[in-house]
Amino acid sequence: MSGGVDSSVAAVLLRQQGYEVVGCFMRLGSPGETLDELVMPAHDDAPACDPKRIKIGHQGCCSVSDAADARQVATELEIPFYVVNFKKEFGRIMDYFADEYAQGRTPNPCVRCNDWLKFGKLHDYAQQIDADFVASGHYARIERDGDTDVALHRGVDSAKDQSYVLFGMPRAQLARTLLPIGGLAKPEVRRIAQAHNLPVFNKPDSQEICFVPDNDYAGFVERRRPELKSQGAGVIQDTDGQPIGTHNGQHRFTIGQRRGVGMALGYPIFVVGKNAAANTITVGSKTDLQSTQCTVAEANWLAAMPPAGQNLPCMVQYRYNSDPVAATVSSLDDAPLGAHSPSGRRGRFAITFAEPQSAVTPGQAAVVYQGERVLGGGWIESVG
């Protein structure tokens, strides 16, 4: 339970369905917090576990005030509420974020948090307390066809759909996950919260990365990796490799960036390339941002894929706030990928777009869909 309206309503719906619900807040480490402030059961007379016990995961931000909101909701619902201390594990997310920028890529920490913590460590914790499922307030759906076919689908509310950030969930965890609000629109979720007297019914959605609340990404990266601040000025070059200016560090720029480049050429310019080793950025026109294909690593498949060399028509979403586009994908492994693999996470695949796409960015996730179903995805490593 994150302290937001979505996970709070997820708890309401699960209780209505007859599950025993255990609220759980992931303590990730916020400035000024102490663990003693947070670890307080909300309901002292919690019933014993039964086969339908569920633990609610955290979706959203992670401040002390969020923990207080989550505890207040748990009290209102008369469910036990506990805090799990994942502060040490969350350091891995922050290191990943800083390292990706340092290496010239653009990270997505929310996807990694889902992979490593919410549907990784949290599932481990659920097993320790004999919970059958982990549930969260994500806007996505899990469809079950019998005992074997479990599929991840987009949420009904297309404006809030979060299936993109869940693609990295191990297939084995998918069967042990519940997403109660995936079939609802956001206004309906707020209405349910208000009807149940939940104090968070009108709480605004979190917009920023939880460990960079001031949105100063470069400052965070430099504090985490101070050597970047001392590396000196870098070169801004054009698409022919000719120096045309200087900058204060390639980690301060992202592919597709237009504002804040610090120079003018008489026409709109964009960051179209970065070289972390040389500390250079390349600028060009909007046309120079176009690409027709990319290579993706750390593949995680939630459905079976064709063998290497066979193209699969599909839709691909390569940024969180973008629409899926027509493409084909093909495995770059020698063996088929998919459900036969215990982890589902193997190798690399290639994407070829039906039409050139703008600002396909190394470090971002590329997620593969057929209709509403998430087939899998991975992390963009190169663009062509």
Task: Identify residue 206 by its one-letter amino acid code.
Answer: S
Q: Residue 336's pLDDT is what?
A: 45
Tens of pLDDT, residue by residue over 143-179, are 988 667 899 999 999 999 999 999 999 888 899 999 9
Residue 314 annotated in active site: no
pLDDT < 50: residue spans in the chain = 31-32, 34-53, 56-60, 335-344
Residue 49 annotated in active site: no
C-alpha 40/C-alpha 255 separation (Å) is 45
Q: CB neighbours of 276 closer than 8 A, spacing ≥ 6?
A: 102, 103, 104, 250, 251
Q: Residue 45's pLDDT is what?
A: 39
C-alpha 366/C-alpha 354 separation (Å) is 15
Tens of pLDDT, residue by residue over 217-252, are 999 999 999 999 888 889 999 999 999 999 999 999
Q: Which of 24, 61, 210, 294 is catalytic?
A: 210
* 53-56 and 140-145 beta bridge pairing: unpaired
Annotate 135-147 with DSSP letters as a single string: E---SEEEEEETT
Please give the domain boundaries of the chain with CATH numbers for all domains: 5-195 (3.40.50.620), 231-284 (2.30.30.280), 289-383 (2.40.30.10)
Q: Residue 62's pLDDT is what?
A: 66
Q: Residue 232's pLDDT is what?
A: 82
Tens of pLDDT, residue by residue over 304-316, are 877 777 899 999 9
Query: Using CB atoms within 10 A of its CB, is residue 245 exposed (0-12), middle (13-18) or buried (19+)?
Result: middle
- Reduce the DSSP state of residue 213 to 3 states and report it: coil
CA–CA distance from 247 to each of 230, 232, 237, 242 (Å)?
13, 9, 10, 15
Tens of pLDDT, residue by residue over 174-189, are 999 999 999 999 999 9
Dihedral, 145, 147, 149, 155 alpha carbons, nearest 10: 60
Q: Residue 49's pLDDT is what?
A: 35
Q: Residue 60's pLDDT is what?
A: 43
Q: Residue 54's pLDDT is what?
A: 52
Which phi and psi angles does 137 have, rounded to 5°?
-95, 35
Q: Which of 61, 62, 113, 294 is catalytic?
A: 113
Q: Residue 341's pLDDT is what?
A: 38
pTM of the model: 0.88
